[in-house]
Structure formats: C-alpha cells, structure tokens
C-alpha cells in the first residue's frame, strides 16, 4: 500500500489565503478598469464633428470629479468617414479588440441602421446622438430580445416633424399669416417618415402642402429645384436636410429665393455654419434640441460656453446629445453596479436624467418607438434662426431670446 502524503494544515491555510489575496487583487483591478465608451462618428462633417469632442469633454469632467466609483471614463473614438461599412468595421474593433462597454454612434440613420444588427450580435449597448429614422426604435419594439441593446438618444423623425409643425403653426401661420408650403427634403432613410409626418401635420397646423420635392444628397445645383418651388407659389419652404446644407443655403441666398426656409437643417445647428455659408444663412430657421443662447436646463449654457472655449465653436445639435449620453451611460453603470450589457440595458431603461437638452427618459417596450427619448413638455425642442451671424432661439415663446427677423429679399410680412 502506497503511503499517502499528509496535508499540513498550515500549508493549506497559506495556500487558501494566497488564493483569496489573488482573487481580491483581481476584483480590485477589475473595479479600477476604466469604463470604455466607443464613439463612432463623422468627425470631418459639420454636424458630426461635435460628437467625439463633446463625448471627450463629458468624460474629462466625470474623471476630474473622481470618476464612477473610482473608475475613469475612457473615450475611444473612430472616424467613420460617413460610411456604413467603416462604421461596422469600427464597431467590431471597438467590441472585440478595444473591449468597450458601450458605443455612441453616428448622426446618420443609414449608419445606425447598419450597426443595429451588430449591437444585437455582439450584445453591446449602442446609443445614437443624432440619427432620426423611426425604424431604429421600431426595430427594438418589433424584436425586443434581439435589439434591446440599441437606444435612440435623439428624437425620431415622427417627433421631429411634429415639432416643426408645432413651431410652424405659431410662427408662420399665426405670426405671418402663411397658408401654404412646399416640402423640400433630401432622399434619405430619416426623411421618409419625416415627410410622411409633414404631410400629415402641416395641413393640421394651417399650411397646405402644394408640392413635395425630394432630391439626391449629391445634388450640387439647386437652381431647378428652387425654380420649381417658386412656380408653385408657396408661402414657405419646409426643409428636411442633414447631409447637405451649405450648398442649398448659399444658392437660396444668391438666387434671392423670396421664400423662408423653415424646418430641419442639421448643419445649421453648428455655429460654424455662418462662416461655412459666407453669411448666406441669415434668416434660415432650423429645429434644434438645445442652443447656446437659452437655458433649456441649468446645464445647457455652461456646457455650450465650455465647449466653445475648448474647441472654438458652439456644438451642433448632436454635440449636446453626445455629451448627455456619456453622463447617463456612466450613471447607468453606477446604478447597475456593473458594465454587463444586460444589466446596463435595464439601468438605461430607467434613465431619468436632466441633461443639456432637457429631461431624458426612454419610451418603454409597449411604445412603438421603444428606447427612443421621449418628446413632450420636458424635452420639446427649439426653433432657432440665424440672425446677423448669431443663432437666436425664437420658439417656444417661453424660451425665446429674440424675435423673427428676415433679410430684405424674403417677401414676408407679419400678420395683423
């Protein structure tokens, strides 16, 4: 019979204690790991450039305040060059190689729609700061278990069209007695539901829709389009433009098109737009979720001013949302006590965050726009106008910092 080796109790105790120490060190090391947020954005685009800048600014502020439970927030940025393919490659790299815990991605709907299946496959939280297509959040509603990792951190096209109609009723119909309109939108995923919304709510707001013009985002000569619109003799042009902006605005001014442009112009939200258009933006009216001249919340103006000090210009609309998103992702990690994706989804669904754009909450599973931010009195959006080189909030009345003013070539007069 072979002799069995006796186990020295003291050796066992030392071994166990060593294992415990190693485990504790591993836990401590994990706890000290940064919270990694990937930012996939159109870094060279007028509207998209603000996304990584604002995200980094938020992370720096959080870290300066001690981080989240001692953990730093690390932003890892990827320039997608406005390409869906490059965005998918960046998303895969962010998750598989850079081990991000969440992703903030793009203001282009086609890009976000291409990434949504990858968020599902890789089970990674993704929030868009600026894409609008209804289909983003509708996909979450249609197949929640698969697509629950996607959050729509901006207004849907349906909400955007309603906001523009609400503003048009007060500013254009009541204020200037306007009765007719032509819709002018770029041909893109986000504008299809936007235009459907326009066609439904503009007549209810008092503006008959005389025509509906959709143009390629590659259009360089808008002369035929403006000539066609003028021939219809509307009172106002209702816009849905994001990938373009400079060219139609410059040509609107150079051709002295006597009709106001009112609606959505994403590029106009960036304070560089005046310089980009050589002042042709004067009089242009555009929708936004926040602005540098109005305290939508106590956080709005301080963020805008600090952003300008750091980057030389005020942020575009998706700069405000990207900044807020870093904060409420970090808050969700804190509340969840984890970066586990499923736990993070549950925490994000319970988000109730006062950000720069208003009170951020998400629609629930029973709503057709599941995981989109709620549109209403706590986050109702704004209408701004470019006036003499400045962005002036003109709607809603309670937040307005100025009144409408139009350049001389626009043939408009206030209602009696």
Residue at token pair 């106008």: 385
**Domain contains 17:** no
Whether residues 151 and 171 fall in one domain: no
pLDDT in tens, 40-78: 999 988 778 999 999 999 999 999 999 999 999 999 999
**Domain contains 68:** yes
Considering the entire predicted model, what is its pTM?
A: 0.84
**Domain contains 390:** yes
Whether residues 75 and 87 fall in one domain: yes
**Domain contains 175:** yes
Whether residues 94 and 139 fall in one domain: yes
**What is the band of 27 on the pLDDT scale with cuts at 50, 70, 90?**
very low
Whether residues 60 and 170 fall in one domain: no
- Whether residue 294 has pLDDT greater than 80: yes
**What is the band of 293 on the pLDDT scale with cuts at 50, 70, 90?**
confident
Whether residues 95 and 228 fall in one domain: no
d(CA 76, CA 35): 11
Whether residues 165 and 237 fall in one domain: yes
- The reported pLDDT for the residue numbered 416 is 52
**Domain contains 22:** no
300-311 vs 50-64: helix crossing angle, rounded to 10: 110
**Domain contains 20:** no
Whether residues 270 and 391 fall in one domain: yes
pLDDT in tens, 314-334: 998 899 999 999 999 999 999
DSSP state of 174: I
- The reported pLDDT for the residue numbered 377 is 81
Whether residues 173 and 261 fall in one domain: yes
Whether residues 123 and 197 fall in one domain: no
- Whether residue 36 has pLDDT greater than 90: yes
Could you tell me the CA-to-CA distances from 338 to 142, 202, 333 in Å, in that order?
Answer: 27, 46, 6
Share of the chain above pLDDT 90, in %: 79
Whether residues 388 and 322 fall in one domain: no
**Domain contains 415:** no
Number of domains in the chain: 2
In sequence order, the 6+-apart residues with CB closer than 8 A to the CB of 157 are 132, 133, 134, 190, 191, 192, 193, 194, 197
Mean pLDDT score, 358-379: 94
In this structure, of 49-53, 270-274, 352-356, the range with the lowest mean pLDDT score is: 270-274
Whether residues 267 and 313 fall in one domain: no
Whether residues 325 and 390 fall in one domain: no
pLDDT in tens, 154-198: 999 999 999 999 999 999 999 999 999 999 999 998 899 999 999
- Whether residue 247 has pLDDT greater than 50: yes
**Domain contains 78:** yes
- Whether residue 14 has pLDDT greater than 90: no
Question: By residue range, what is the domain housing residue 172?
Answer: 158-288+381-395
Please report, for the domain that includes residue 168, its CATH number: 3.40.50.2300
**What is the band of 214 on the pLDDT scale with cuts at 50, 70, 90?**
very high
| DSSP code per residue over 79-105 | E-TT-HHHHHHHHHHHHHTS--SEEEE
In sequence order, the 6+-apart residues with CB closer than 8 A to the CB of 87 are 40, 78, 80, 105, 106, 111, 114, 115
């Amino acid at each position: 019979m072979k002799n069995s080796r006796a186990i020295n109790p003291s050796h066992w105790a030392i071994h166990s204690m060593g294992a415990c120490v190693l485990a504790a060190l591993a836990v401590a090391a994990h706890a000290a790991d940064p919270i990694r947020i990937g930012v996939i954005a159109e870094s060279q685009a007028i509207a998209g450039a603000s996304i990584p800048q604002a995200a980094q600014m938020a992370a720096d502020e959080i870290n300066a305040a001690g981080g989240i439970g001692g953990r730093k927030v690390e932003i890892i940025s990827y320039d997608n060059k406005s390409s869906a393919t490059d965005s998918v490659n960046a998303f895969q790299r962010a998750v598989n190689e850079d081990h991000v815990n969440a992703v903030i991605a793009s203001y282009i709907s086609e890009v976000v729609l291409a990434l949504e299946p990858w968020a599902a496959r890789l089970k990674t939280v993704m929030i868009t700061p600026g894409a609008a297509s209804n289909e983003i959040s509708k996909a979450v509603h249609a197949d929640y278990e698969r697509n629950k990792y996607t959050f729509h951190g901006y207004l849907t096209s349906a909400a955007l069209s309603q906001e523009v109609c609400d503003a048009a009723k007060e500013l254009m119909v009541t204020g200037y007695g306007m009765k007719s309109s032509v819709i002018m939108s770029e041909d893109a995923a986000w504008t299809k539901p936007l235009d459907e919304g326009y066609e439904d709510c503009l007549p209810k707001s008092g503006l008959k829709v005389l025509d509906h013009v959709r143009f390629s985002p590659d259009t360089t000569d808008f002369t035929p389009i403006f000539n066609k619109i003028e021939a219809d003799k509307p009172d106002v042009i209702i816009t849905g433009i994001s990938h373009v902006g400079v060219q139609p605005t410059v040509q609107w001014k150079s051709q002295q098109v006597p009709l106001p442009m009112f609606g959505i112009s994403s590029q106009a939200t960036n304070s560089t737009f005046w310089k980009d258009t050589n002042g042709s933006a004067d009089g242009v009216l555009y929708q936004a979720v926040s602005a540098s001249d109005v305290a939508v919340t106590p956080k709005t103006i301080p963020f805008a001013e600090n952003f300008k000090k750091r980057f030389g210009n005020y942020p575009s609309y998706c700069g405000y949302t990207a900044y807020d998103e870093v904060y409420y992702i970090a808050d969700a990690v804190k509340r969840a006590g984890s970066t586990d994706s499923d736990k993070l989804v549950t925490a994000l669904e319970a988000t109730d965050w006062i950000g720069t754009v208003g009170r951020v909450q998400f629609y629930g599973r029973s709503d057709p726009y599941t995981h989109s931010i709620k549109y209403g009195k706590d986050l109702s959006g704004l209408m701004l106008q470019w006036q003499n080189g400045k962005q002036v909030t003109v709607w809603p009345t309670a937040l307005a910092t100025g009144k409408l003013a139009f350049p001389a070539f626009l043939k408009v007069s206030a209602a009696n």
